[in-house]
Chains A and B, each alone.
Chain A
């Protein structure tokens, strides 16, 4: 069937049919194929991007590229100063932020509460001790201040309050979680860590789509260190931001070779993702593929109908082609090539729109989902696979109707007899 002669004649026929067909019909078919392509790529891309946005946010604003945290059986990272020196010596490292982390509580109404039976307005939170400049260099968290101001190095007894610890930002209840009422920048609250109480002033409210930020309390590292009585400068977490192009896995491995993994967990941002996130990415990807496959069926039906109508209306000419001695296979190939042309053009337009406009635009203007800034995830390999699928589907969808018509009796086709 696919002899070089038949392909040559098929190409000859297809080229002329496309060239002389109605421009608007051609544009319409390519338009349909373009949207089919977008359906294939964008639906799953947005579903995965929904989670990828959250993953990116955690990477950019919390873990950074590599995160070092305490071992499960340790309360902090031993030999932290030495590890920090190793990190600083690595050429791939752009900046780093060492954090102290302890569990604690905040009480808002301790001054106004006169009756012992009155319920204290208490919220439990993770308390982070940070160097505000270093932290901001790594995670840029100052841009998430929605009220008040970001911490300054000399601030004393001042905290940043995660928005979900403020009742007015926490518009939902869930068991076991309480937020503070009537708090705002300038208000004093009582901070209790390891039984040590401290009256601190809320300097700012921080709100981001990263739970560690929105549910945490941030204060100057030296103060938290003094509260918890840790005088050895051992920290609980170190987030490392790498220079553009540096490979987090490589830096992780270098740190492990230096023995850091003996005293701490060394993870890239991917390693640090909870398993349920990875499972959700896989699930959303599967869901996207299922939805895309419906698009693929729609595309194949569209091409089937287009080619079938084309072949039926051209039945007489197909009969003439056979009558003058053109091989049936060459005629079928001409329809296959036409289907291929429509799918190819739709895909090319799709790729241009996707990578030239849609993906960069959505990266710059993410969809504001409640828990993430959704972006469009469209890796080249996945897109190529989908283009391949679209091509194969449309080629089959183009071939079948062409074959149905081409196989009809030559004379019946020429005379228009059924």
Chain B
């Protein structure tokens, strides 16, 4: 379903070039729940950004559903992200001027779904993450955990092939983190493919496969 071949990413700062990913080879099947772990600077978030098409690698290939996504134009990548990928950001990344409902409905509207259907679907997914009573609250009126749940609802409302999560519990307390991970667990049990970056061992245990990165390379890839 997702195949990463010899993926490299380096950053230039004047004369200096820092190689963050040094040739990653990796494959995930539909329905996998993978946790990518590693110490700070290991390259785990960078790998996630490349796979989720938020960034462009220096070299290598990424195939998702047999589509060479790196060959897509900017507009095609945006469309691909919209239809196939979901993204849960570490800092929730909600749009502050939109209510929880509007935040979730927006990507659905972009898929040319009617407003009525988009809102119905958004309500369904917000209810799924336990926020059926907070539909019209602005992000600023929600706790961190609630905001992250809105972010998850937004990421899954359009039923993406792959859900990417970048340190989804990093800014949350234990209780909120547990709620978030329980949602991921439930989504996975329903067949959702999830690729999650985390540095917390406790939450990596929710995944069925853990990939360890160090210094831009995979040092272990094991099933739990």
Q: Mark B46-62, 1 if CB is under 8 A from A, else 0.
A: 00010000110000000
Contacts of B89 in A (CB 8 A): 320, 323, 414
Contacts of B93 in A (CB 8 A): 316, 320, 323, 414
A21 to B138 Cα, complex, angstroms: 13
Main secondary structure of the interface of B (DSSP, over half): helix
Q: Mark the stretch among B15-23, B103-111, B167-175, B208-216 that contacts chain A.
A: B103-111
Contacts of A324 in B (CB 8 A): 81-82, 87, 106-107, 154-155
Find out whether the CB atom of B110 lies under 8 angstroms from the CB atom of A317: no
Contacts of A63 in B (CB 8 A): none
Which of A20, A327, A410 sits near B97, CB closer than 8 Å? A20
What count of chain B residues pass the 8 Å CB interface test? Answer: 27
Cβ-based interface call for B83 (8 A):
yes
Find out whether the CB atom of B110 lies under 8 angstroms from the CB atom of A19: no
Find out whether the CB atom of A9 lies under 8 angstroms from the CB atom of B97: no
Known A-B contacts A323-B81, A327-B78; the reply to A9 vs B110 at CB < 8 A is yes
A414 to B53 Cα, complex, angstroms: 13
Cβ-based interface call for B14 (8 A):
no
Inter-chain contact count A-B, CB under 8 Å? Answer: 70
Q: Which residue of B lies closest to A318 (CB)?
A: B95
Find out whether the CB atom of A321 lies under 8 angstroms from the CB atom of B81: no
Q: Mark A310-326, 1 if CB is under 8 A from B, else 0.
A: 00000011001111111
Find out whether the CB atom of B109 lies under 8 angstroms from the CB atom of A323: no
Q: Which residue of A lies closest to B99 (CB)?
A: A16
Cβ-based interface call for A166 (8 A):
no
Cβ-based interface call for A361 (8 A):
no
Known A-B contacts A9-B110, A320-B89, A327-B110; the reply to A19 vs B78 at CB < 8 A is no
Find out whether the CB atom of B112 lies under 8 angstroms from the CB atom of A5: yes
A339 to B82 Cα, complex, angstroms: 27
What count of chain A residues pass the 8 Å CB interface test? Answer: 25
Nearest-Cβ distance from residue B163 to partner chain A, whole angstroms: 12
Instruction: Find the residue from A12, A323, A330, A409 having the highest chain B CB count within 10 A.
Output: A323
Cβ-based interface call for A328 (8 A):
yes
Nearest-Cβ distance from residue B70 to partner chain A, whole angstroms: 15
Contacts of B109 in A (CB 8 A): 8-9, 12
Q: Which residue of B lies closest to A325 (CB)?
A: B82
Q: Mark B90-131, 1 if CB is under 8 A from A, else 0.
A: 000101111000100011011010000000000000000000
A21 to B95 Cα, complex, angstroms: 12
Find out whether the CB atom of A17 lies under 8 angstroms from the CB atom of B97: yes
Cβ-based interface call for A290 (8 A):
no
Which residue numbers of B lie inside 8 Å of A, CB to CB?
A: 49, 54-55, 74-75, 78-79, 81-83, 85, 87, 89, 93, 95-98, 102, 106-107, 109-110, 112, 138, 154-155
Write 25 A-B pairs (CB below 8 A) sorted by A numbering.
A9-B109, A16-B95, A16-B97, A16-B98, A20-B138, A316-B93, A320-B93, A323-B81, A323-B87, A323-B89, A324-B107, A325-B81, A325-B82, A325-B83, A325-B85, A326-B78, A326-B106, A326-B110, A328-B78, A410-B54, A411-B49, A411-B54, A411-B55, A414-B54, A414-B89
